[in-house]
Chains A and B, each alone.
Chain A
Amino acid sequence: MKNTIISALALAVVFTACTKDKNVTKPVDPNAFSVAVSGKIVTVKNLPADTIVGLVSGQPVGVGKYSFFNLRTNAWVSNADSASSNWDLAFNGSTIRVNAGTSGPGAGGAFVLVGAYDNLTTVPADSVFKTDAYPSYAITKGSGKGWYSYDGATNLLTPIPGRVLVIKTADGRFAKVEILNYYRGGVTPSASATDEIKTSEQRYYTFRYTFSNSTTF
């Protein structure tokens, strides 16, 4: 009963978000969460991923919550659905989980491919989809190891260009994802920006993806 109410509330949130999106007369806030569909490609902007709320022993921290996203329905899913197959990717800071293994009940998986997004037209036949096995993840964490690089001198995190996340959705279908930016508004602060800006603007994902019912995109 409780679950139903929460789901209903979550749906309400999604619907509200949708109605807001359709209101085209208002100027678009570049910092607002948005989902835009153009042909096969869906672009998600400003998906917060446990944004910074304060410092704990000198380190910036969020509240510890993930943002769940469903690549099949193009929707930001309620946290109440975390234990379901209603999501494909979950974001928290630089960690991206897939719905499989230690992260969820789904049949998901992922691997990181070096190449251009447009050039990936089919899921390679020899693909090996990894699943999350805490503390390691299908989408490898660490600077230069998966999808991002972190510069200790500038304290900036940058998605490495030419990295495609090949995703198996929670129901075993496929999607390709390119992370475009990690900062609010889709703009990485300058190397010389203040620490305050670098801290408060981080953990907002901008990414694009193509979902497919088959192995071709």
Chain B
Amino acid sequence: MHQNTTKMKKIILTSAAALYSAILFAQFGPEDTTRPKELDEIVVTATRTERKISNVAVPVRVIDQKTIQQAGSLRLRDILQEQAGLYMTNGFGVGVQMQGLSPDYTLIMVDGEPLVGRTAGVLDLNRVAVGNVRKIEIVKGPSSSLYGSEAMAGVINVITDNSFRKKLNAGIRYGFGNPDKGWGLPGASSTFENMDFSLQGSTTIGKLGIQFFSDANLFDAVSFRLYSAERVPQPVKRFTNQLQLSYRFSQKTKLSLSVRDAYDHIKQEFATTNNGGITHSYGREANNDLNMNAVLLHQFSDKVKNTTRLYATTYNGSQILHFREFTDSVYDDEFRQHFYRAENQTDVSWTRSTLTAGGGYAIDQVNSTRYDDISSRKQNTIAYGFAQYEWRPADAVTVIAGVRYDDNKLFAAAFSPKLALRYTVSKKLSLKASVGRGFKAPDFRQLYLNFTNNAAGGYSVFGSIDAVRIIDQLNRLGQIAEIRDDYSKLKQLTPEYSTGVNAGGTYTPTDKLNFNFNVFRNDIENLIDAREVAVRSNGTQIYSYINVKNAFTQGVELEAAYQFNEKFRVNAGYQYLYTADKADLQKIDSKTVFTRDENGFSRLLTKADYVGLPNRSRNMANLKLSYDNKKFFATSRILYRSKWVVSDADGNGLYNKQDEFAKGYVQLNISAGRQFKNGIRVQGGMDNVLNYRDINNLPNLAGRMIYLSAQFKLIP
């Protein structure tokens, strides 16, 4: 009952605010609805220099502001999930799987600076609000030659609005749903609600540009399933504030400063059953992300440009859980990462070529309860240099050669070359091909983790730096029963590598029709895996991290766009993906892997039975229909993902057709909006219209949700 009144109050407040604002700002003049048609967009992420997308030799996609707005997206996850070939993973937040590589291997940047604070390799995409995003650039294929660690599968660069045009906009949104009943009623106790408030403004005073963005997102999902054993979305409050300043000293020199703060508070009330015993846990997870950067741009001449970037970021993640059943015990997990970087880049442009060269120094520090002692700071320093030469021997041809060297204090250095070619065959057809090397530095967790799971049998995981010392110590105390073969492989971890090849192009048979195609293959070496290295006298296992696995991912990406007329447009995307662990393929070749037939009897496993790495779909597709007459728009977006393997049901140690799969599914999202003359934009939509849910395999997919939003231009 109390729940109800609170919710009713919220709704009344929400509606009142909307109405009040509507009345207040109804007087303002007509909105500028004409948008410049960006036929050939400028992108920066692919080459670290501004380039027309048609001239870029690597696969790059741009999601523009209008697409983000029309999809009703609030967080980075919302918009990325609608892109062909990007799959949102579940566990430790929402991560992105690109070209079949796990979330660990995609670099996520905001305005060209990396976000830190990954849990088990996953950077939660819900941490990033997209309300002030001008565009998102997605570069596929290894990009470590420019960006260093993590850019193995590709790079996602979220670029915020930095126009500093005079404006003040307010946004409000209310969404609700009830997946169990199919349709929710606003205010009902079993309804979950998602509310968002945003305010952004910018202006230019002389040479100074000022811009700010504030966003509050309140998602309340657990009220109807308190202490549920099912992993449903938890009640979340997320706040984002960003302030950007720009000062133009002269035509040639500009300084930009940005401070971004994102805070997430996730309430936790859930029940877990382990071996039949139920534990009720309650507490909270709180994450704070603070980024500060300064960019000094100086144009020495028409030909020479210099960019100096300073970046400091802190990520504090903490989780505190209490237990109803064990009142004297508290689970306290703290993770604090600091990352500082100074970088300088010079671009020299000639008529037919550009040289980009630079270098930098970074300090990466972590304190965590997950390691031996939270007060002991783990630190890595990285010194790096990169160079890229872009040559256009003819108008139709671009050749790019790049290389980067990262020298790490804690582990082996990484060398990342890249070569890319683009050839414009005709006005209708252009081809591109690239080959590059990507790497990912070992995590601090892989180096320093010191974890013993007393709740589940007492096994331990030690990071590679301490594992040998700890095991030797235990051995001297007579506590080690057995040293496993993998113990001998324990040594300093080296980065994980990938070699990626991308080949494809763009075909534009008519003004209205456009195709993009790309074939890719990523060979991944040296993957770090947790392996059993010793057994204690009491039978519990000790694990550590070793560079052992080799895998590959390969596939085809296709995109088509058809513009029926000025108003009506269709976009379609498709990705076919095949992945394999190379050791698995060898085992199948050696005829030592079996599965079971329909009678439950063993039979040899064939390559045709093998499905590759888990949690990957062979087929993914999307279809978007949109109508836009500049005053009114409507979109319908369909996403499809084929079945994916979730567990090794036949126990043969690899994933094959006889194992357990999550069902393939279709998700439908629709939205429509109207632009009014007084600067008000009203939008409504429904996410997950078909109310598709799979609580075990897609815990982050909320049920059907209806939302309404309004944007107000507070300054005409």
Spell out A's residues near B (CB within 8 Å): 52, 55, 58-60, 114, 116-117, 144, 148-149, 151-156, 158-163, 178, 180-181, 186, 188, 190-192, 194-196, 199, 206, 208
Nearest chain-B residue to A61 (Cβ)? B275
- The CA of A153 and the CA of B651, in the complex, are separated in Å by 13
Report which of B276, B595, B648, B651 forms a contact with A148, defined as CB distance below 8 A.
B651
A–B complex contacts, Cβ < 8 Å, 22 sampled: A55-B276, A58-B274, A58-B275, A114-B592, A117-B601, A117-B602, A144-B653, A149-B651, A151-B648, A151-B651, A152-B456, A156-B647, A158-B648, A162-B593, A162-B594, A181-B600, A191-B646, A191-B647, A191-B649, A191-B696, A194-B229, A195-B275
Q: Which residues of A contact B653 (CB under 8 A)?
A: 144, 149, 160
The 8 A CB mask of B265-276 against A (1 = contact, 0 = none) is 000000001111
Q: Is B27 an interface residue (CB 8 A)?
A: no
Q: Is B277 an interface residue (CB 8 A)?
A: yes
Q: Which residues of A contact B277 (CB under 8 A)?
A: 55, 58
Nearest chain-A residue to B276 (Cβ)? A199
Q: Which residues of A contact B601 (CB under 8 A)?
A: 117, 178, 180, 208
Interface size class on chain B is 20 to 34
Q: Which residues of B contact A60 (CB under 8 A)?
A: 275-276
- The CA of A14 and the CA of B95, in the complex, are separated in Å by 58
- The CA of A151 and the CA of B277, in the complex, are separated in Å by 19
**Nearest 4 pairs between A and B by C-beta?**
A162-B594, A158-B651, A161-B594, A192-B696
Contact A154–B647 (Cβ < 8 Å): yes
- The CA of A156 and the CA of B277, in the complex, are separated in Å by 17
Contact B276–A196 (Cβ < 8 Å): yes
Contact B602–A116 (Cβ < 8 Å): yes
Q: Which residues of A contact B593 (CB under 8 A)?
A: 162
Q: Which residues of B contact A191 (CB under 8 A)?
A: 646-647, 649, 660, 696
Q: Which residues of A contact B229 (CB under 8 A)?
A: 194
From residue 587 to 630 of chain B, which have CB atoms closer than 8 A to chain A? 592-596, 600-605
Q: Knowing that A151-B648, A151-B651, A196-B273 touch, tell me 17 more A-B residue pairs with CB under 8 angstroms.
A: A55-B275, A58-B275, A117-B602, A148-B651, A149-B653, A152-B456, A158-B650, A161-B595, A161-B605, A162-B604, A162-B652, A180-B600, A191-B646, A191-B647, A192-B696, A194-B273, A195-B273
Q: Which residues of A contact B647 (CB under 8 A)?
A: 151, 153-154, 156, 191
Contact (A190, B276) CB under 8 Å given A161-B595, A206-B600: no
Contact A149–B276 (Cβ < 8 Å): no
Q: How far is the CB of A99 from chain B (nearest CB, A)?
A: 24
- The CA of A190 and the CA of B339, in the complex, are separated in Å by 43
Q: Which residues of B contact A160 (CB under 8 A)?
A: 594, 651-653
Q: Which residues of A contact B696 (CB under 8 A)?
A: 191-192
Report which of B273, B276, B646, B651 forms a contact with A161, defined as CB distance below 8 A.
B651
- The CA of A112 and the CA of B653, in the complex, are separated in Å by 17
- The CA of A154 and the CA of B660, in the complex, are separated in Å by 11
Q: Which residues of B contact A154 (CB under 8 A)?
A: 647
Contact (A186, B600) CB under 8 Å given A152-B456, A162-B593: yes
Q: Which residues of A contact B596 (CB under 8 A)?
A: 161, 180
Contact A195–B602 (Cβ < 8 Å): no
Contact (A158, B649) CB under 8 Å given A114-B592, A178-B602, A181-B600: yes
- The CA of A161 and the CA of B648, in the complex, are separated in Å by 12
Nearest chain-A residue to B453 (Cβ)? A152
The 8 A CB mask of B645-688 against A (1 = contact, 0 = none) is 01111111100000010000000000000000000000000000
- The CA of A155 and the CA of B595, in the complex, are separated in Å by 20
- The CA of A190 and the CA of B652, in the complex, are separated in Å by 16
Contact A161–B275 (Cβ < 8 Å): no
Q: Which residues of A contact B652 (CB under 8 A)?
A: 149, 160-162
The 8 A CB mask of B209-235 against A (1 = contact, 0 = none) is 000000000000000000001000000
Nearest chain-B residue to A60 (Cβ)? B275
Q: Which residues of A contact B456 (CB under 8 A)?
A: 152
Q: How far is the CB of A35 from chain B (nearest CB, A)?
A: 16
Contact (A59, B650) CB under 8 Å given A178-B601, A206-B600: no
Contact B602–A162 (Cβ < 8 Å): yes
Nearest chain-A residue to B535 (Cβ)? A142
Q: How far is the CB of A216 from chain B (nearest CB, A)?
A: 20
Q: How far is the CB of A60 from chain B (nearest CB, A)?
A: 5
Contact (A161, B602) CB under 8 Å given A114-B592, A191-B649: yes
Contact A116–B603 (Cβ < 8 Å): yes
Q: Which residues of A contact B697 (CB under 8 A)?
A: 192
Nearest chain-B residue to A158 (Cβ)? B651
Contact (A162, B592) CB under 8 Å given A58-B277, A117-B601: yes
Q: How far is the CB of B539 from chain A (nearest CB, A)?
A: 8
Q: How far is the CB of B153 from chain A (nearest CB, A)?
A: 24
- The CA of A115 and the CA of B277, in the complex, are separated in Å by 39
- The CA of A6 and the CA of B390, in the complex, are separated in Å by 90
Nearest chain-B residue to A141 (Cβ)? B539
Nearest chain-A residue to B592 (Cβ)? A114
Q: Which residues of B contact A152 (CB under 8 A)?
A: 456
Q: Which residues of B contact A58 (CB under 8 A)?
A: 274-275, 277
- The CA of A33 and the CA of B273, in the complex, are separated in Å by 29
- The CA of A208 and the CA of B603, in the complex, are separated in Å by 15
- The CA of A72 and the CA of B245, in the complex, are separated in Å by 86
- The CA of A156 and the CA of B546, in the complex, are separated in Å by 26
Contact B276–A195 (Cβ < 8 Å): yes
- The CA of A158 and the CA of B596, in the complex, are separated in Å by 11
- The CA of A126 and the CA of B647, in the complex, are separated in Å by 37
- The CA of A214 and the CA of B563, in the complex, are separated in Å by 78
From residue 549 to 581 of chain B, which have CB atoms closer than 8 A to chain A? none
Q: Which residues of A contact B603 (CB under 8 A)?
A: 116, 161
Q: How far is the CB of B586 from chain A (nearest CB, A)?
A: 15
Nearest chain-B residue to A144 (Cβ)? B653
Q: How far is the CB of A24 from chain B (nearest CB, A)?
A: 21
Q: How far is the CB of B391 from chain A (nearest CB, A)?
A: 51
